[in-house]
Amino acid sequence: MNETRQTEKERSFMTTPLSARGVPVFVVYLLAFIGGVYILNPGAGVIELIPDNIPIIGNLDEGGAFLAIWYGLLEYFEGRKYRRQDDSAPN
């Protein structure tokens, strides 16, 4: 039991829910929502954090938005497992 818990804690940063690292769950969901709105682009490209026509770094803002969405989905699907394990762990 203890070995499996250690291997789960050693998981990659990309596959561990942020709530397991101390970030409040509502913050993760809020960032994922903002990232989704940014990707849907309701301003039709008028509002850009980094203009897309700048070479190399032009798409970093979209990458950050997708990363926020990724962590939101990861929190939704994997975060419940972590919270359930913490609740069932003896004090």
The pTM for the full model equals: 0.71
Q: How far is CA 25 from the centre of its chain?
A: 10
Written in H, E and C, the secondary structure of 68-86 is HHHHHHHHHHHHHHHHHHH
At 32 the pLDDT is 95
At 61 the pLDDT is 84
Determine the Cα–Cα distance for residues 68 and 88; give it in Å rounded to an integer. Answer: 29
Q: What is the pLDDT of residues 25-39, one digit of tens each?
A: 999 999 999 999 988
